[in-house]
Each structure stands twice: as structure tokens, then as C-alpha cells.
């Protein structure tokens, strides 16, 4: 046990060190036209990994988590668990002290009945998931907990957390008068009861309260007036049921009930591949003369981002999903069966593509980039939640795509992209194609960085330089190296 405590101190120290390296390295990546070949396996799901870690910390015993995602957000979660009385061993798969190169298996020694109020300020780094999940769990303890994070987190709204937990008897405040951001102060314990909340700002705090219910005598009921990101609520439900909880969710997701308390037994679990990460090699292959196979695809239906396959297929993307082999075979450009791989909305009703993205908002960056290379008009709708991610992704995607020649209209909760394929239906060059190279800022948003790296690959001419490109480590460690193994040709400047 002493070794585990010492090891977890090393995790905390090295997570800070990794944040400094990842966010201050000011890496510039150059992306230009390339063709991709071969097979790739996308890392495990961040959403699944963080849920697995938190539930393992609450459990009574030793849990093994296979295929965890060793990203910044997941390492921030690992560093928070000792504050609750749990411990984590990242060495079980041969990782270094930081866990940065970890793969295979993590071991969590659950706190069980000895779980306690966080023993220090909880610094969630850049992880909104950790903030919104753990804040509700912390509210089940008697005493005060303080949450903070990096600059990005200290811009994320927390009023919905404050209002929801106060309905259950907690005392929640923000430390800065007139502000709606961290530092966040929470005093518990919450009591059993019913919470009425919109649910539209994020699904993460709803998932957090569902997890908190496992520690509340009588459980918690939630009434959501406008639920969004609902696939993530299903994901949480399945994790809670795995932990032995009874969970009820209505078909419209407006009524949720989680019985408690639950004594979670130790469990072993395998984290499925991350569909949010799959999106990037997927669109990269469709925008280029490529033939790749993405392996280890999650077919469980717990990740809403799998909808991107149907979206891209609807505009002509050649994607074959073998659910028995758990693979996606993707062919683009001249490698497609029709010899062009041209993406177009011409076969859709009204010759328009409408994507309601509230169920999988993290896909907005990948979908928007693919839309810019698609002949026709693409409407990305019901997207207000995308303004409350690491960046205002509606605003940033509109700004950056316009700077590279795209025709984009930004609305309060939508993007309209009037795109053009580089080629006509007969394979000749499309004179209306106006996309070009340039310099883009990532704004320290991992999905912004990866989406514009893929944008550069699809340009027939020109180059894209992504500034502060290292932030992709938040969800896809070694993204550029992995893509280069397929032939992407990304180079550091």
C-alpha cells in the first residue's frame, strides 16, 4: 500500500509535468496532400476510461481496466483518485511513472467503504468530464470540496452543477462574484430527492449525478426538460448497471432514476476504441487517395459518434463496417470503387445534408471539415452544446474554415457549409473548389487540431500549419505518429 501511495504521488507530479509539455511545447505541424495505406487501431475511449476509473475507485476491491486511454484527461482522473482514498497502478502494463506511454492495463485499488471527501483541492486539468462527474460524487460527502483546472476549464460554465446539487441539499458556490466558472466550492452531503434541470448545457453533470446516486440512500431522480448528448447517458447507464445499480431511463430521456446506495464489487473491464478518435483517420481517408482499415471498432452502440459512418456514407463515402471483425474499411479518391471517391449531397432529399449533432457534439469538427470538401450544402444543426466545449467550436470552426476558403454561415446553434469537391463527377478538376492552405490556431482544442491536420491532407495544393498542435494528446496520444505510419506525412516545424 505504501508503494501505491508513493506511486500515486508520482502520477500527480508527472501529470503536471505532462500538461506543461503538451500545452507549452508550441508544436507546429505541417499538413499537405498525402495518400494513406495500411491498418490502424485507435486508442481506447476517453469517455469509457474516465467512467471506469471513477467507478473502480468507488468499488470494494481490485479492478483491472484493459485498453485504457493514456491521455491527459484520463491521467488527470488517475491523479484525482488518491484524493478519495483509492489508488492506481499504471505500472501493470509497463508504463513509466507518468503513464504517458501506458497501454494494456491499469489496476485500480478501490476505496470501497473507506472512500472519503477529497483530501485536497481537485485540479481537473483540462477535463470537463472529470469536473462534472466528480463534483457530484464529492457532494455526497460531508464537508467542503474545491474544484479548479487549467485556463480552459476556468472558462467552462458550472451554474448547472450549482443549481442541480443545491436542489439536493448541497451548498454550492463559485468563488468569483458574478462569475459562472471554477473555482467551484461544494459542501455536502446531498440527500435523496428529485432534481429538475434542463440537461442541455451538457450531459456530463447528469452522468455525474447518476454516479453520485450510488452513494445516496434512496437514490436520485432526474427530470430533464431538454436533454442533449443522450448517447452518453446510455453509456453511463450501462456502466452503472455493470456496477450493480438499478437504472431507469425513459425513452425520451426526460426521466432518469438511479437507486442507491450500491456496494460496488471489484470488476474487470475492457475499454472499447474511441469513436471520437476514429473520426479523424476516417475523414482523412475519404478526403485523399487512400485505402485503410481501422481496427478494433466498438459496435456496442454506447458511443453516439458512430453516427458519423452513416453521415459520410450518405454523401458517397466508401466505408464498409464489418461488425464481426470490428473493422472499418475506408477507400477515398482514386482508390474508391467509382474511381473518384467524390463526396456529394446530390442524392439526398433537396440535395442537402442535415446533421442533428446534439447526440454526438464532439464530431462537429470532423463533420465540418468533411462538409467543406463535399459538393453541396451541409447543415449542422442543434449544435448549441458545441459552444461549451474546450472552445466555442461553432465559432472557431466557422472562423478557421472561412480563413481557408470555405463558404460557411454561423448561427446561434448551427453551421451551414456550402462545400465543393475538388473534382467533378467525371473526375475533372472542379473550378468552384476554393479551399487553400494557411495557418490555423488550435486554441488548445484537441479536436480542432486533428480536424485541420486532416483538412491539409485533402488539399490538392497548398499546406496547412496547425499551431499548438500538441493538444491532441488530450484524447489521441501520438496522433501524428500514428497517422504517419499510414503515410500522412505530418512534419513538425
Which one from 73, 89, 259, 362 is the annotated catalytic residue?
A: 362
What phi, psi does 316 have (nearest 5°)?
A: 100, 5
- The answer to whether 176 and 182 have CB atoms below 8 angstroms apart is no
DSSP 48: H
Helix or strand holding residue 329 (H, E): strand 327-331
Only one residue has cell 505510419, namely 485
Cell of 290: 487512400
Kind of pairing between the strands at 220-224 and 143-148: unpaired
- The answer to whether 151 and 188 have CB atoms below 8 angstroms apart is no
Q: CA-CA distance, 391 to 448, in Å (whole number)?
A: 9
Q: CA-CA distance, 306 to 278, in Å (whole number)?
A: 9
Report the chain's C-alpha Rg in angstroms: 22
Nearest to residue 148, comparing CAs of 170, 179, 171, 112? 179
What phi, psi does 121 have (nearest 5°)?
A: -55, 135
Kind of pairing between the strands at 268-270 and 62-66: parallel
Kind of pairing between the strands at 318-322 and 268-270: unpaired
Angle at 482 between CA 299 and CA 370, to 5 degrees: 65
- Distance spanning both ends of the chain, measured CA to CA: 45
For the question of residue 362 being annotated catalytic, the response is: yes
Q: CA-CA distance, 451 to 453, in Å (whole number)?
A: 5
Tell me how far the alpha carbon of residue 105 is from its chain's centroid: 20
Question: Hey, which bits of 429-490 come out as E strands?
Answer: 438-441, 463-467
Kind of pairing between the strands at 318-322 and 291-295: unpaired
Helix or strand holding residue 187 (H, E): strand 184-188
Nearest to residue 471, comparing CAs of 395, 392, 391? 391
Instruction: Give catalytic residue positions.
Output: 362
Amino acid at each position: 500500500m505504501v508503494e501505491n501511495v508513493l506511486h500515486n504521488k508520482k502520477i500527480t507530479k508527472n501529470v503536471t509535468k505532462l500538461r506543461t509539455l503538451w500545452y507549452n511545447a508550441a508544436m507546429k505541424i505541417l499538413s499537405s496532400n498525402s495518400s494513406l495505406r495500411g491498418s490502424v487501431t485507435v486508442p481506447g475511449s476517453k469517455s469509457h476510461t474516465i467512467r471506469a476509473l471513477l467507478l473502480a475507485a468507488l468499488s470494494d476491491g481490485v479492478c483491472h481496466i484493459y485498453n485504457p486511454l493514456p491521455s491527459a484527461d484520463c491521467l488527470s482522473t488517475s491523479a484525482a483518485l488518491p484524493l478519495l482514498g483509492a489508488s492506481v497502478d499504471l505500472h501493470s502494463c509497463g508504463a513509466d511513472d507518468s503513464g504517458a506511454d501506458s497501454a494494456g492495463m491499469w489496476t485500480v485499488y478501490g476505496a470501497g467503504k473507506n472512500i472519503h471527501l477529497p483530501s485536497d483541492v481537485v485540479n481537473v486539468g483540462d477535463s470537463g468530464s472529470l469536473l462534472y462527474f466528480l463534483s457530484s460524487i464529492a457532494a455526497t460527502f460531508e464537508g467542503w470540496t474545491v474544484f479548479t483546472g487549467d485556463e480552459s476549464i476556468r472558462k467552462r460554465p458550472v451554474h448547472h452543477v450549482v443549481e442541480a446539487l443545491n436542489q439536493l441539499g448541497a451548498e454550492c458556490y463559485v468563488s468569483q462574484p458574478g462569475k459562472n466558472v471554477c473555482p467551484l466550492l461544494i459542501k455536502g452531503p446531498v440527500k435523496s430527492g428529485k432534481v429538475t434541470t434542463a440537461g442541455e448545457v451538457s450531459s456530463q453533470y447528469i452522468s455525474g449525478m447518476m454516479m453520485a446516486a450510488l452513494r445516496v440512500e434512496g437514490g436520485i431522480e432526474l427530470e430533464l426538460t431538454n436533454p442533449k448528448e443522450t448517447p452518453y447517458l446510455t453509456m453511463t447507464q450501462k456502466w452503472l448497471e455493470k456496477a450493480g445499480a438499478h437504472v431507469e431511463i425513459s425513452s425520451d430521456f426526460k426521466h432518469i432514476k438511479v437507486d442507491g446506495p450500491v456496494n460496488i464489487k471489484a470488476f474487470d473491464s475492457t475499454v472499447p476504441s474511441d469513436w471520437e478518435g476514429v473520426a479523424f483517420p476516417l475523414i482523412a481517408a475519404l478526403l485523399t487517395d487512400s485505402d485503410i482499415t481501422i481496427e478494433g471498432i466498438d459496435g456496442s452502440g454506447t458511443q453516439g459518434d458512430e453516427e458519423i459512418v452513416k453521415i459520410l456514407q450518405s454523401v458517397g463515402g466508401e466505408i464498409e463496417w464489418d461488425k464481426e471483425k470490428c473493422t472499418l474499411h475506408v477507400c477515398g479518391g482514386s482508390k474508391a470503387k467509382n474511381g473518384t471517391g467524390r463526396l456529394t449531397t446530390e442524392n439526398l432529399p433537396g440535395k442537402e445534408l442535415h446533421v442533428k449533432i446534439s447526440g454526438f457534439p464532439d464530431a462537429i469538427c470532423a463533420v465540418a471539415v468533411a462538409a467543406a470538401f463535399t459538393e453541396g450544402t451541409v447543415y449542422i444543426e442543434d449544435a448549441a452544446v458545441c459552444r461549451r466545449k474546450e472552445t466555442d467550436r461553432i465559432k472557431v470552426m466557422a472562423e478557421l474554415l472561412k480563413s481557408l476558403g470555405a463558404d460557411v454561415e454561423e448561427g446561434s446553434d448551427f453551421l451551414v457549409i456550402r462545400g465543393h469537391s475538388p473534382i467533378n463527377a467525371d473526375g475533372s478538376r472542379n473550378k468552384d473548389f476554393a479551399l487553400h492552405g494557411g495557418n490555423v490556431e488550435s486554441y488548445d482544442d484537441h479536436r480542432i487540431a486533428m480536424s485541420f491536420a486532416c483538412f491539409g491532407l485533402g488539399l490538392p495544393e497548398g499546406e496547412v500549419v496547425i499551431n499548438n498542435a500538441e493538444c491532441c494528446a488530450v484524447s489521441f496520444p501520438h496522433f501524428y505518429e500514428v497517422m504517419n505510419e499510414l503515410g500522412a506525412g505530418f512534419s513538425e516545424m
